[in-house]
Amino acid sequence: MSLNDPVRERIRTACEEVRQKTPLAQSFTNFVTINLVANAQLAAGGSAAMSFLPDDIKDIEAISGASYINVGTLLPSYEDALKDIAKSFFERTSLWVLDPVAAGLGSTRTRILKAFAEYPPTIVRANASEIIALCGIWDISLKTDSNGKVNRPAGVESVDDVDSATLHAIELARYLREHNATHTAAVAVSGERDLVTDGDRVYRLPGGNAMMTKITGAGCSLGGVTATYLAVSDPLTAALAASLHFNCASEQAGTVAQGPGSFQTAFLDALWQIQAAEIADSTIIDMH
Ligand SMILES: Nc1ncnc2c1ncn2[C@@H]1O[C@H](COP(=O)(O)OP(=O)(O)O)[C@@H](O)[C@H]1O
Ligand SMILES: Cc1ncsc1CCOP(=O)(O)O
Ligand SMILES: [Mg+2]
């Protein structure tokens, strides 16, 4: 893709605006990685607020540019709370990002994710296995079978590669924009070569560092930072900008880290240091 492409210009503007405006993106997220989510949002230039109470979340929504829901760890009260929150986001035409962590695992998580089909998010950000599982839970059928493989539930790590979730991601993005409150959507599939689609265009982002799989919360924090970007830009730009910001920062972190511990620290530093131009100019493959 040429350096003057308008997509790159929108990514660059989004990166600059996040740093200028420090947008708040609130999170209802898992308690394994909640701290990394907040720190990554701050390091990317945004601001963070975490809550689990529907009333609280509805109040914070009024001052948030976007919201983030992550179903990694569940408590009994979450089933009612999350349905109530998603419904209120729908009624208020709020922008929000879903990370369906471990989709397909456990009946409570499946019921929670199923309920979101009626009030879908603006963006789904997940690894390939979770994207494939969410399509199954929402009964989203593919026009063509991607590879004939039968999908099985994974844990929080992907057991499928990004390529095998391409058709699922496209159909999921179309479902989101048809059924969500704003009728605009994107899907981001993370892995070795991330994929971002709005249901029409498909982009592949080959950068990053495999050490990201050795820190817990790389995907969760990407979801949080995607919400940060969604507060200042359209869903496709937000998904691209957040994924590219992570790829650039993880590449930089990889040059100094000694292992997972120092990698996480270096990654947060790099999220903070990386320039908007570098993020916008990194490799994007336009698959059409
Ligand atoms: N093999 C890899 N090489 C480079 N980057 C990767 C690799 N695997 C994951 N990433 C990056 O790690 C981040 C989290 O992705 P992923 O590990 O797929 O999410 P999750 O933790 O939800 O499974 C993304 O920025 C993604 O690009
Ligand atoms: C380990 C774990 N268990 C429940 S949620 C969670 C964190 C998953 O984080 P990520 O998907 O970002 O690796
Ligand atoms: Mg994850």
For Cα atoms 53, 158, 138, give the angle at the middle one, nearest 5 degrees.
60
Q: What total of structural domains would you count in the chain?
A: 1
First and final CA of the chain: distance in angstroms? 11
Q: How far is ligand 2, taken at its centre, from the CA of residue 279, in Å?
A: 26
Instruction: Tell me whether residue 280 is in a domain.
Output: yes
Residue type, 68: Y
Convert the pLDDT of each residue in 165-206 to its tens digit. Answer: 999 999 999 999 999 999 999 999 999 999 999 999 999 999
71 Cβ below 6 A of ligand 2: no
DSSP class of residue 151? Answer: P
Residue nearest to atom 9 of ligand 2 (CA): 217
Helices (H), 98-217: 107-116, 128-137, 166-179
Instruction: Tell me whether residue 129 is in a domain.
Output: yes
Range of the domain at 22: 6-286
Residues within 5 Å of ion ligand 3 by Cβ? 101, 219
Q: How high is the pLDDT of residue 134?
A: 98
For Cα atoms 134, 15, 193, give the angle at the middle one, nearest 5 degrees.
45
Instruction: Tell me whether residue 268 is in a domain.
Output: yes
* Model confidence band, residue 150 (pLDDT cutoffs 50, 70, 90): very low
ipTM: 0.99
Q: How far is ligand 1, taken at its centre, from the CA of residue 264, in Å?
A: 13
Instruction: Tell me whether residue 231 is in a domain.
Output: yes
Instruction: Tell me whether residue 1 is in a domain.
Output: no
* Model confidence band, residue 271 (pLDDT cutoffs 50, 70, 90): very high
Q: Round to whole Å and give the CA distance between 166 and 160.
A: 11
Convert the pLDDT of each residue in 133-143 to its tens digit. Answer: 999 999 998 86
Residue nearest to atom 7 of ligand 1 (CA): 192
Which ligand 1 atom lies nearest to the CA of residue 190?
18
CATH of the domain at 281: 3.40.1190.20
